[in-house]
Amino acid sequence: MKLRQYLTEAAQTLQKAGVDSPRLCAHVLVGHVLGLDRIACVVQGERELLEHELTSLNALIGRRTGGEPVAHITGSKEFYGRDFLVTSHTLIPRPETELLIDKALEAAKELESQMDMQGAGLHFADLGTGSGCIGITLALELPRWHGLLMDISGNALETAQQNAHRLKAQHCVALVRGDMHRAPLEQGAYAMLVSNPPYIAEGERSMVMDEVLAYEPHSALFSPHEGLAHLEAVIHAAGGALKPGGRLLLEHGAAQGASTRRLLRASNFFEHTETHRDLAGFERCTVARRTCR
């Protein structure tokens, strides 16, 4: 069978199974097996597939029609222009989280011009780092900064460590195991703290996609108290860990912007709170400044 024909039939199979973006999915899985990017798949459309290639491809298409996420099948996911290893112990990086990176980079520029570097550079912390996609990306985009990446899961930290080595960020990040409810952070040591914590309420479980429930860690998805417990814990930790004038950046649910701002006000640690919308128009990321008192 020629590659072009296989792509067409694979996309049809995926579509019948109800898979989102079936043609793109077919190209990704075919490219993964054959070592080709999407353009090469098109250019080499007349290529005859070998029997062992067909066997491998059919196995992957079968896994996807069964609901397994593409990132788990290929073992990686692109985030902010870099490929990150993902496992069943970490959330799959989402495009909407790139908004958190954009806002953190903006905040970092302001902080670099405002804070006294004292020859020691600036430090940030990423609470609930998972695959490390947020903390490692910031460390690579901000060469004057050093990051502390924390997660309660040892398996998640192992994945983050692998990503740090693969992306040559091991010298600008440190990984530590810890609970964000009792975060082991040095007081007043950080100019910026970022987090994409669990924020889905248990009552919203029925609204979560089946494949997310089946394949991604529930401990990284769900939070008590209507999804706000971990957000509140991060705010409390940041109140002590941030330098005066430091920035806290939180990703949260699309309907949690007002609640997040309320928690920030109630802490008495933060001011100049602003919530930003993602490309879909949903409130996704809230930024606040640590008071100087």
Known binding-site positions for S-adenosyl-L-methionine: 128-132, 151, 196
CB 287 within 8 A of CB 248: yes
Region at 234 (left for phi over 0; alpha for psi -120 to 50; beta for the rest): alpha
Environment class of 210 (CB within 10 Å of its CB; exposed 0-12, middle 13-18, buried 19+)? exposed
CB 185 within 8 A of CB 234: no
Binding site for substrate: what residues are annotated?
Answer: 196-199
Residue 239 sits at φ, ψ, to 5 deg, of -60, -35
Binding site: what residues are annotated?
Answer: 128-132, 151, 196-199
- Gap between the Cα atoms of 96 and 292, Å rounded: 31
